[in-house]
Structure 1
């Protein structure tokens, strides 16, 4: 369905990434008319340059590791090399299939008009695209994010890369420096190491994945040392210089590191510049759109969702916010989204999955003597022994109260975050979860064992 000359709609959405297209689909279900505007591909960063292609790369990297390590499981196999053209073909094929499905879903919906082009907010109720005006009784800003850099650091796409460039590399680099030890940085470091590169992570903060629980960071650092992934924490970047073989990075204290390429993974910034937001009265702070808890900007009927709203920059947060705003506009008054109740997953090896408050944040909020924790080591879990993985499940609870944080690290632990989400969001007590029966042998059983112990009746471990 198309409307090349503009028109009036119940909702005009600027941006067709996770938050924008989720809002469009939910609004259409509620029989609201939608104009969905984007200058690039439907699906945004997550589908084309983020979540999906990086996870395909991580899976290919896992296969490489499994092939190398096959003999310890009694399987004779040999890794003859990495065919990056074939890896990229696999990755791109996954993206293409999902893109085709999403495009069909949106373009065949009678309530959604997909508009290709660069939009700009020109009035409190109007987005203009190539001279055509799309007026909405409501407007949702969902313009997404971009890869940040640092002052004095020029990204050239050859020696100095963003994650978008890294996904298009036609080779495995012999060596790589990853600037940033957050989610994006540790995921790419994990991929490249598995594919055969020498990797060094440089992080200005005192630990890797600094937003996670400190015990998780320590375990990841132990695992990375074992995998021979180098990292330097508490070492701010100072400068980068070209060399005959690639780049030389200088960090605080004058120490230098050389490699073939440098990946800049210092986070993502909100795409809000030159889109007319401030001119229409929308408040920005550091480029982010400021909203109330119901995602309203305080201007007209303008809402904002996704990466441009301060908080976790996650596709599933965008989905949830898009659905929320569509229902809000339809008058359904959905419950406010609990930011702490959004699952967080980092897909490096080992995987990290977490919910709720870290131990430090819990103690800051409730007081040291009001918080109780328990760590269940995966060494006692049968499936983890089969997978030859190390890690733990850590529980944080209010003393004599509900669970307020769950933190897991180990192979495939992302698959356990669904139950963790239910436990946190339903404010479950350890004694309640301990009654549930978890299948044996599974890694899911590790959650059950941890809750049995925290409830004071451990099975295969000590309380």
Structure 2
């Protein structure tokens, strides 16, 4: 029976970050992964989808150049195989980099499935026969086990993904070719991103969300601005609508949707994309053998959130297995991995402040938020001061010409900043400042003392805080 200080089950962002940090702290680490190191984010989610969205941004730029700037450029065609090859090259290079990093750190990677046999023991059923003897191996953790098995896409009753006509977010990027029309079920970040991508590539897109607005977990003004931007680009947005059923045809899908007004709408599309959330993966882990269980939603709930430790001492959880307030985001998983590794090494480590973790939707327009929305802040009993600064109120926003906003929610009377919400071009690159503002409990006056560069989009952030601090300049 092999022993190691730490056994990590799952090699996605949460798992490999735990392994890397633990190894850097001098712990002996075994990382068990049955598929590819990097998990959903690297191979089916964050990285390939953002590569495709960058290509979509380039396509949109050609139209803007022609229609707004007098640059008489036209789009000949999209070479889909070439686009896919570039995307896959980016993924492959990232994958190799992570594997090399693990090897250099001294992490032993076992490509296998794993199941718990006790609070400190794991049975490994080998995927590659050269990894462990006889295809089966037993491992014992001296300090602890980390569960990081990730999530899979949810679907809806009556919808069976086939990878061609009905697809999930995991396989949408790998479906053949570019469809001429797409029905997207789910108006969260994933659904909005795919709706935006396909619209940029020329498809007719219908986006259906059961809640009364898209990105329903964000501030209402974020939803409003994003909806306006998508509709301006030609996306048909149906909020407050519910999927009824669908029929797969020879050349597409016919679906029925109940609209917010109670009408039944029939939508035909070449492809139907299901983006209604993700479910934690625990099948095969045999949690009961270690004295663990999941909650009603399938999550493994920590008994101690400050250490992300379960009710069984020494077993920790990171990533998509965690329920809210964890966010199911790769960068949150990195923070969780660092916390757990340092805890297992016996070091003090601050708990993850989920309120200060940024949330980004990489559509066109983009959204980026950190902290509380206005309604959420009021619901928690805060008296708030709110300021909304249009991006078009600063010169660089006029240059971009795509609208957008900066919204700041702060405690009334000059108190701490509770949330910052951005909509517009490239706001994903602007939110880091806001993360520090919220994370460090800054007040508007603190931010207003610092000078933002002119002309930039970030200048709108500075102006929004100047106004809240009573030193408004360009904002009326």
TM range (shorter): over 0.9
Preserved CA contact (<8 Å) 2:208 2:238: yes
In 2, distance between residues paired with 1:328 and 1:93? Answer: 36
Which of the numbers 17, 20, 39 marks the counterpart of 1:22? 17
In 1, distance between residues paired with 2:236 and 2:250? Answer: 22
Preserved CA contact (<8 Å) 2:197 2:363: yes
In 2, distance between residues paired with 1:23 and 1:17? Answer: 10
User: Hey, what does 2:132 align to over in structure 1?
Assistant: none
Cα offset, 1:76, TM superposition = 2.5
2:229 is equivalent to residue 223 of structure 1: yes
Which of the numbers 75, 78, 81 marks the counterpart of 1:79? 75
In 2, distance between residues paired with 1:278 and 1:63? Answer: 50
2:139 is equivalent to residue 134 of structure 1: yes
Preserved CA contact (<8 Å) 2:151 2:278: yes
User: Hey, what does 1:314 align to over in structure 2?
Assistant: 329
Which of the numbers 349, 362, 381 marks the counterpart of 1:347? 362
Cα offset, 1:84, TM superposition = 1.0
Which of the numbers 413, 423, 430 marks the counterpart of 2:427? 413
User: Hey, what does 2:290 align to over in structure 1?
Assistant: 280
User: Hey, what does 1:236 align to over in structure 2?
Assistant: 242
In 2, distance between residues paired with 1:178 and 1:409? Answer: 21
Q: Secondary structure at the match of 2:380?
A: helix
User: Hey, what does 2:349 align to over in structure 1?
Assistant: 334
Structure 2: any 5+ residue segments left out of the alignment?
126-135
Structure 2-normalised TM-score? 0.94
- The 5 Å alignment of 1:243-392 reads 243-252=249-258, 253-285=263-295, 286-291=297-302, 292-293=304-305, 294-311=307-324, 312-367=327-382, 370-392=383-405
Cα offset, 1:329, TM superposition = 1.0
Q: Secondary structure at the match of 2:224?
A: helix
2:186 is equivalent to residue 180 of structure 1: yes
Preserved CA contact (<8 Å) 1:125 1:300: no
In 2, distance between residues paired with 1:278 and 1:418? Answer: 41
Which of the numbers 34, 40, 43 marks the counterpart of 1:45? 40
Structure 1 segments (4+ residues) deviating >4 Å: none
Q: Secondary structure at the match of 2:256?
A: strand
Cα offset, 1:364, TM superposition = 0.5
Cα offset, 1:254, TM superposition = 2.8
Report Cα offsets for 1:403-432 as digits up to 9, x if no partner. 000000000001111100000011001011
User: Hey, what does 1:3 align to over in structure 2?
Assistant: none
2:67 is equivalent to residue 101 of structure 1: no
Q: Secondary structure at the match of 1:331?
A: coil
Structure 1-normalised TM-score? 0.96
Report Cα offsets for 1:166-211 as digits up to 9, x if no partner. 1113311010000000011000000000001000011111000000
Cα offset, 1:55, TM superposition = 0.3
Q: Secondary structure at the match of 1:218?
A: helix
In 2, distance between residues paired with 1:116 and 1:217? Answer: 42
Cα offset, 1:441, TM superposition = 0.9
User: Hey, what does 2:469 align to over in structure 1?
Assistant: 455
In 2, distance between residues paired with 1:101 and 1:441? Answer: 37
Q: Secondary structure at the match of 2:171?
A: helix
Which of the numbers 168, 182, 185 marks the counterpart of 2:174? 168
Of stretches 166-175 and 189-198 in structure 1, the one that deviates more from structure 2 is 166-175
Of stretches 91-100 and 275-284 in structure 1, the one that deviates more from structure 2 is 275-284
Cα offset, 1:37, TM superposition = 0.5
CA-based RMSD of the aligned residues comes to 1.1
Preserved CA contact (<8 Å) 1:205 1:235: yes
Q: Secondary structure at the match of 1:228?
A: coil
